[in-house]
Amino acid sequence: MKIDILDINGVCIAEIVSDDIEIRNVQDALDILSECYSIGASSIILNEKNIVPDFFDLKTGLAGEILRKFSMYHFKLAIVGDFSDVSSKSLKDFIYESNKTGDTCFVSSVDEAKERLVYISKIRPSF
């Protein structure tokens, strides 16, 4: 795993660059949060392929557990992937609500992730 640090308009964003699954459980998420915090990031970009598929099956509860950690530590998160063909109504609703109101967003490109994270950070700064 490689972490690229981006400073965009004063917002420090950590982009996780990897072809592997980096988050399989809550502890993996905490490890990434800790590493990103130690380098000064307040926002993280992750690719959908870097997260275990169970995360996207809301019945497992994994998404809720992991996203609570991001929220508790005041991190913004952008998950990059193709969410246009999601068949689960609950996941569609979750993505819609997250994109509308939350510190987590689901986007289709890294450029969109950067733009959204800067916007979210400006309207809801981290502590």
Q: Residue 124 — pLDDT band, cuts 50, 70, 90?
A: confident
Total of domains in the chain: 1
Mean pLDDT score, 52-61? 96
Q: Compute how many other C-beta atoms are within 10 angstroms of the C-beta atom of residue 13.
A: 22
Residues 64-98 have pLDDT tens digits of 999 999 999 999 999 999 999 899 999 999 999 99
Q: Residue 53's domain spans which residues?
A: 2-123
Q: Residue 102 — pLDDT band, cuts 50, 70, 90?
A: confident
Tokens representing 45 are 């970009």
Domain harbouring 50, CATH code: 3.30.750
Query: How far is the C-alpha of 63 from the C-alpha of 115, rounded, in Å?
Result: 23
Quick check: 105 and 97 in contact, CB under 8 A?
Answer: no
Range with the poorest average pLDDT among 49-53, 88-92, 118-122: 118-122
